[in-house]
Amino acid sequence: MTYQAEQEKVTFVLPLYFAKAEVTFTRQSSDDGLTVPIIPANGPRVSISTRRFAKGFWLAQLTWSVGRQRFCSEGWFEIA
């Protein structure tokens, strides 16, 4: 995961042959959450705009599957 504050986006790179993926964003100071499905046809590099995100610390939880195996990665970023 790479957060690009100046471009207001978060970018993820998935394996070439992932079958299904989604990213869930949760703000530290709130129970608000946003889940974004990721479509394999769009390629392994996915960027999601953070323009509408409120200020604060956000946790991005990326889950994906390759075959019958599921994987998860997470990281924090701050919108100032």
Query: What whole-number distance in Å separates Cα of residue 4 and Cα of residue 11?
Result: 8
Q: Say which CATH architecture domain 2-79 belongs to.
A: Sandwich (2.60)
What pLDDT score was predicted for residue 32?
75
For residues 23 and 48, is the Cβ–Cβ distance under 8 A? yes
What pLDDT score was predicted for residue 39?
86
Q: How far is CA 35 from CA 5, 6, 24, 53, 65, in A?
A: 20, 23, 4, 13, 16
Count of residues for the chain?
Answer: 80
Q: What is the pTM of this model?
A: 0.88
Query: What whole-number distance in Å separates Cα of residue 75 and Cα of residue 36?
Result: 16
Question: Per residue of the chain (80 residues), what is the pLDDT tens digit?
Answer: 999 999 999 999 999 889 899 999 999 877 778 999 998 887 889 999 999 999 999 999 999 999 899 999 999 999 99
